[in-house]
Amino acid sequence: MRGVSAPGTGSVVGDVWDQVTTASPVPSAGLVLAAAAVALVLVLVPGAWRRTRHLVTIAHEGAHGVAALLSGRRLAGIRLHSDTSGLTVSKGRSSGPGMVLTAGAGYVGPALVGLGAAYLLSRGYAVGVLWALLVLLALLLLQIRNFFGLWSVLLAGGGLFAVTWWAGDGVQLVVAYVVTWFLLLAAPRPVVELQQERRRGRARSSDADVLARLTRVPGVLWVGGFLLGIAGCLLLGGSLLVRLP
């Protein structure tokens, strides 16, 4: 990140804070749409998706963890696996609103993070988006309980740190928009994949099926609810990014 040259810790923190709270120039419509196109490629191209889907899993499991804490449950750890699956373990009642909130947060989590990032970008805080994501990854790292998960979060966090610390303003702006578009556009695909697996009878322990057992509401309705929530985030977040009234 430019402008951090003073040796004192206080000066470094002050410079970072200035970067985070200073609004960036409004990007051109071409840059915003180009960032959306790049993000769409990362979602739709199979070779890219096999790698970028890990980022969605990180957001998914992080959302489970946040929901567990907000509902009064005790977070016992998070695991991320090389097949892009994950597991968040929390302790508390095995039923009730807290468990429903925890189970229901995962699939909408990436879209909600994307919506929050879109709001910050609409206010001009591109660097603020990057630092906010970096802080979230640092907090998530404290709960990781397996080596692959540790590696995944460190790799994602290291990439973000490199951009926030050494990249120029233009690169930071582009990365912030690509990451935000990616979170919004990628969120529906795991839900579609989930329903495909459910039709084949291969997802009996999925979030939708857990919610069905907890609430007696059919799993397919929970899948539809995930998609509706994600679609709302995408529409609202997209309108913020392209500056629609």
pLDDT at res. 1: 43
User: Hey, which residues does 28 pair with through a beta bridge?
Assistant: none
146 token code pair: 């397996």
pLDDT of residue 41: 98
Residue 20 within any structural domain of the chain: no
Domain that holds residue 126: 25-241
Distance of CA 143 to the CA centre of its chain: 16
Query: Looking at the predicted structure, is the pLDDT value of residue 9 above 80?
Result: no
- pTM to 2 decimals? 0.93
Assigned domain for 14 exists: no
The reply to whether 94 falls in a domain is yes
Reported as half-sphere exposure (CB side, CA atoms, 13 A), residue 198 has a value of 20
Residues in Cβ contact with 155 at an 8 Å cutoff, skipping those fewer than 6 apart: none
CA distances in angstroms from 133 to 58, 83, 190, 202, listed in the order given: 11, 23, 21, 33
- Is residue 4, in this structure, part of any structural domain at all? no
- 3 confidence band (pLDDT: 50, 70, 90): very low
| Contact assessment for residue 53 and residue 95, using Cβ atoms and an 8 Å cutoff | no
Query: What gap in Å lies between CA 189 and CA 231, rounded to an integer?
Result: 11
**Overall number of domains in the chain:** 1
Averaged pLDDT, 21-27: 85
Tokens of 197: 């697996």
Task: Calculate what percentage of the chain has a pLDDT beyond 70.
Answer: 95
Contacts of residues 214-218 at CB distance under 8 Å and 24 or more positions apart, as own/partner, are 214/95, 214/99, 214/100, 214/103, 215/100
Residues 6+ apart with CB under 8 A from 62: 78, 109, 136, 140
Q: Is the dihedral of CA 231, 125, 5, 15 positive or negative?
A: negative
Q: Where are the beta strands (DSSP E) in the chain?
A: 74-80, 86-91
Closest to 76 measured CA to CA, from 141, 175, 144, 136: 144
Give a yes or no: residue 231 inside a domain: yes
Q: Which residues of 173-186 are buried (b: 16+ CB within 10 A; e: fewer)?
A: bbbbbbbbbbbbbb
Amino acid at position 11, single letter? S
80 lies in a domain? yes
* Integer Cα distance of 178 and 192 in angstroms: 22
- Classify residue 18: in a domain, yes or no: no
Residue 10 above 80 pLDDT? no
Inside any domain, residue 17: no
pLDDT for 202: 80
Q: What is the pLDDT of residues 153-201, one digit of tens each?
A: 999 999 999 999 999 999 999 999 999 999 999 999 999 999 999 998 8
Per-residue pLDDT tens for 195-221? 999 998 887 789 999 999 999 999 999
Phi/psi at 75 (nearest 5 deg)?
A: -80, 125
